[in-house]
Amino acid sequence: MRPLQQKSPWCWELAAENEMRVPAVIYADAPLIDAMDEKVLEQTANVARLPGIVQASYAMPDAHWGYGFPIGGVAAFDAAAGGVVSAGGVGFDISCGVRSLLTGVSASDVEPLRERLAEALFRAVPAGLGSTGTIRLHGREMEAMLAGGARWALGQGFGNEADLLRTEERGCMAGARPEYVSAQAKKRQRDEMGTLGSGNHYLEVQRITDIHDAEAAAAFGLRVGEVVISIHCGSRGLGHQIGTEYLREMVLAAADFGIKLPDRELACAPINSPLGQRYLGAMRAGINCALANRQIITHLTREAVRDILPGASLELLYDVSHNTCKQERHRVEGRERELYVHRKGATRAFGPGHSELPPEYRAVGQPVIIGGSMGTSSWILAGTRESESLAFSSACHGAGRAMSRHAATRRWRGAGVVDELARRGIVIRSPSLRGVAEEAPGAYKDVSAVVEAADHAGLARKVARLEPMVCIKG
């Protein structure tokens, strides 16, 4: 492939060549580009070869190598032009996402209670590989959860109606088809509702250290010195099983659809095919599973926190996913088109005025939650109007890994990471010290550099910076 051409200090492009149907575009500054895994460009270019892709294949500033699509990849497809849906373009942890809760409590008041808070949250929310909770779902209950998402969870007593208004898709993804989710996927999820899982999932108590956009911060309810609680998790075993099964089926069916795959990991099916429709129905059920899961964890978190901080408001700021394919309307070349936007390790970032935003956020744009990793900062951004034309209203979702989990465990010991963070005043609780080593802060890119690139590129604008105080790590 020819080298990337720098279009601006924050935008790089590989012109369409060979079998690419559209250009490949990466949003990042020069240091991030230099440090980026060379597979990111290769994968972004491969995505550009898929049928029905519109405008460009995009990679966000936190992009790194993934399965098929790069993590941090965004691509939109037009069903009317033979567009496809790709299970690899959504990922295995369907609808993994972040929700943040406001507390209205000052960090100085929480500081002496950090250990108590850490213990209470660690007991309340099961975490780790294969973690299970107290909820057991069978038969019709499982079907109802997959169809209803966070709205189902509210009906079970987990949360309140106000939560839905500040949740993507109002807490329930339309078009979910639980009957297209296999019995094995449902079995894996049977005991996992209300659990964090493992990997980069976390439940974190954070202090707001800086405000960069006073108007947006006021609309979001963010004030310097106050505490926010963030929850990062997804659809657990169910989402992974859906991804595994449909990827296998899409690989086998590609030739029958006349699709030449540049990489087997980019297995896909035409959106309007029976297979494409079955995957979309199952994937939307996976989204609802993740939304319900985060809603239950929110309830468990509120119960634990209120015992220690009875004055905390624990009002939901926002919940947004970053492993999805969404049917959305976007303006392309002067006209609106209905597109299927894949965001893998990328967050929806609607700008000011968008009709799907809660009224109180409509003037400033959608909250975009950028998670850190234990010892690193997290950020709240806001969607921009220009992001619509830049990348179908999408932004980065985190720092992005700088090294593999295996490499991280060779470099760090979990106990050493816990001790180092304790010296910085950050309390860690995890069922796995190996998991802590895999998620060591040094295994990730500089999240502040990623956020700066997103801000300067116009994908989303900085609103507030947060630092960890307590982290429950999966």
The two tokens of residue 441 are: 């802060």
Q: Where are the alpha helices (DSSP H) in 156-273?
A: 161-165, 183-189, 214-220, 236-253
- Structural contact between residues 93 and 442, judged by C-beta atoms closer than 8 angstroms: no
Q: Which residues partner with 320 through β-bridges?
A: 98
Which residues are designated catalytic? Answer: 397
Per-residue pLDDT band for 1 (boundaries 50, 70, 90) equals low
Q: What is the number of helices (H) and of strands (E) in the chain?
A: 15, 19
CA distance 1 to 17: 8
**% of the chain residues with pLDDT over 70:** 100
Average pLDDT over residues 285-305: 98
Average pLDDT value for the chain:
96
Kindly state the average pLDDT of the residues 163-173.
Answer: 97
Instruction: Determine contact, residues 171/288, Cβ cutoff 8 Å.
Output: no
Alpha carbon distances (Å) from 170 to 89, 150, 358: 23, 8, 9
pLDDT digits (tens, 9 = 90+) for 356-380: 999 999 999 999 999 988 889 999 9
The whole-number pLDDT of residue 374 equals 87
The whole-angstrom separation of Cα 132 and Cα 134 is 7
- What's residue 246's pLDDT? 98
- Quick one: CATH architecture of 5-79+94-473? Alpha-Beta Complex (3.90)
- The per-residue pLDDT for range 320-363, each reduced to its tens digit, is 999 999 999 999 999 999 999 999 999 999 999 999 999 999 99
Taking the CB of residue 266, how many other CB atoms lie within 10 A of it?
25
Residue 422 CA to residue 257 CA, distance in Å, equals: 55
Span 95-124, pLDDT tens digits:
999 999 999 999 999 999 999 999 999 999
How far apart, in whole angstroms, are the C-alpha atoms of residue 211 and residue 217? 7
Torsion of CA 382, 384, 390, 392, to 10 degrees: 70
**Both tokens assigned to 433:** 């010290």
Model confidence band, residue 12 (pLDDT cutoffs 50, 70, 90):
very high
- What pLDDT score does 2 carry? 65
At 252-277, the pLDDT tens digits run: 999 999 999 999 999 999 999 999 99
pLDDT value, residue 360: 97
Mean pLDDT of 208-236: 98
Give pLDDT, residue 112.
Answer: 97
C-alpha torsion sign, points 78, 79, 80, 81 = positive
Q: How far apart are CA 425 and CA 417, in angstroms?
A: 12
Q: How far is CA 63 from the centre of its chain?
A: 13
